[in-house]
Amino acid sequence: MKKGKSRLKANRARKRLKKALFIGLIIDCLLWAGVFYSISKLSKNNHQVITIQKTIIKEVEAKAAYKVGLITAYSCGGLKTKAEILLNCPSLLTGEPRTASGTIPEANKTMACDPINMGKSFEIEGLGVFTCTDTGGAIKGEARFDLYLENVKLARDFGTQYLLVKEI
């Protein structure tokens, strides 16, 4: 007997859910159509007048929001030993340093990022605009960036900083 009641309750709940989803779908369709009609009844000299007013939904562009990013720095300049070169800039062994996108890194313009951000430009609070043209093994996540600086000393002095970042 209990199993029958629980099945009945489950069926009723499913029907209510389907009905709610159907009503929600209809409302969504009306919203996406972008046009609503509001009907108002006015009384004029004992006559009812019905007016239909058209309302248009305007799309508003979302403003890019700042997010907090973990910023570090790296460089190929000033590396002395083969171990430093292998760790920081292995492309130096074959000639000029190259980024993951194949370009030559530019100090204060190039930055390594997660592959999902490759090719995008970001404004970093107090530092300027950088373009993601490189990746790195330790660079994981949307808000993780590694700036390319002139030399290793500047990169080490930069350390790790949490700064506001906005995609441009």
pLDDT tens-place string over residues 34-60 = 544 444 444 445 555 555 555 555 555
pLDDT of residue 91: 76
- Residue 71 confidence (pLDDT): 93
Would you state the pLDDT for residue 13?
66
Please check the confidence at residue 136 and state whether its pLDDT lies above 50: yes
Cα–Cα distance for residue pair 93/86, rounded to 1 Å? 8
Q: Which two tokens stand for residue 140?
A: 């994981």
Residues counted in the chain: 168
pTM tops 0.85:
no
- CA geometry: angle 48, 50, 56, nearest 5 deg: 160
Give residue 59's pLDDT: 57
Token pair belonging to 67? 């997010």
Q: Are 155 and 78 a contacting pair, CB within 8 Å?
A: no
Question: Over the stretch 88-103, which tens digit does the pLDDT of each residue have?
Answer: 777 777 877 888 888 8
The DSSP-derived string for 54-65 is EEEPPP-PPPPP
Within 8 A by CB and 6+ apart from 121, the residues are 129, 130, 131, 132, 167, 168
Write out the two tokens for 59: 């799309």
| Residue 32 confidence (pLDDT) | 52
Mean pLDDT of 127-140: 87
- Ordered structural domains, the chain, with CATH: 2-56 (no CATH), 67-167 (2.40.40.10)
Alpha carbon 24 to chain centroid distance?
28
pLDDT band at residue 1, thresholds of 50, 70 and 90?
A: very low
Could you give the C-alpha distances from 83 to 28, 73, 110, 136, in angstroms and in order? 60, 18, 23, 17
> What is the arithmetic mean of pLDDT over 113-140?
89
70 vs 123: CA distance, rounded Å: 13
